[in-house]
Amino acid sequence: MDWSERIRQLHENSFGYLDLLIARPGDLGELIDLACKGDTAAERIADALSDMLTIVGRGSHRNPTPCTGCNRPLRPGKYAVVMAHPAAMVTAGDIIGMAFCSRCSRTTEATQRQATAALRRIWPDARLARL
Ligand SMILES: [Zn+2]
């Protein structure tokens, strides 16, 4: 499934309302622990975070994965992942992941601002439930 199809599906599943989750690479262990205890939301988030870590990890020194916000190269372990999912439905529907460098994700507010701007670039009608 390509990006435009994933975004279209997310739009349909969310009725236009998204929520954002912010995670750091170091959060994966705790999410997996929660998933192992039966937390289905944590399992979905762990899967999405793991996918994003794999995508960012594919970048090389010569061709690093760029920050979604400013296009600077992401440095290993020094970035945040934002996952957009249908509001109040973290256990269902698609999750779109984005990665932001340490500068763009220096605070929760800055990360939310960058993620909102990135989503609106690809999806101008995006409405964010908690922003
Ligand atoms: Zn950045």
User: 24-72: per-residue pLDDT in tens?
Assistant: 999 999 999 999 999 888 888 899 899 999 999 988 888 899 999 999 9
Residue 84 binned pLDDT confidence (cut-offs 50, 70, 90): confident
pLDDT of 131 reads 42
For ligand 1, the distance from its centroid to the CA atom of residue 37, given in whole angstroms, is 34
Residue 14 inside a domain? The answer is yes
Least confident of 2-6, 76-80, 100-104: 2-6
> Is 28 domain-assigned?
yes
Q: Check whether 114 has a pLDDT greater than 90.
A: yes
Q: How far is the CA of 24 from the centre of ligand 1 (A)?
A: 14
Cα 109 to ligand 1 centre (Å)? 14
Measured in Å, residue 18 CA sits from the centre of ligand 1 at: 22
CA of 118 to the centre of ligand 1 (A): 11
Q: Which band of pLDDT confidence, cut at 50, 70 and 90, is reported for residue 129?
A: low
User: Is 62 a member of any domain?
Assistant: yes
Report the domain count for the chain: 1
Write down the pLDDT at residue 4. Answer: 60
Q: Is residue 131, in this structure, part of any structural domain at all?
A: no
Answer whether residue 130 is part of any domain.
no
pLDDT score for 94: 75
> What percent of the chain stands above pLDDT 70?
78
CA of 85 to the centre of ligand 1 (A): 21
Structural domain for 82, as ranges: 3-123
What distance in angstroms lies between residue 113's CA and the mean position of ligand 1's atoms? 12
Residues with CB under 5 A from ligand 1 (ion): 67, 69-70, 101, 104
Assigned domain for 106 exists: yes
Six-digit token pair at 74? 């992401």
- Which residues, in sequence order, are CB contacts of 87 under 8 Å at separation 6+? 14, 17, 18, 19, 129, 130
Distances (CA, A) of 86 to 14, 27, 44, 96: 4, 21, 13, 10
> Residue 105 — very low, low, confident or very high, per pLDDT cuts 50/70/90?
very high
Q: Report the separation in Å between the CA atom of 100 and the middle of ligand 1, taken as the mean of its atom positions.
A: 5
Secondary structure class of 100 (helix, strand, coil): strand
In whole angstroms, what is the distance from residue 13 CA to residue 7 CA?
10
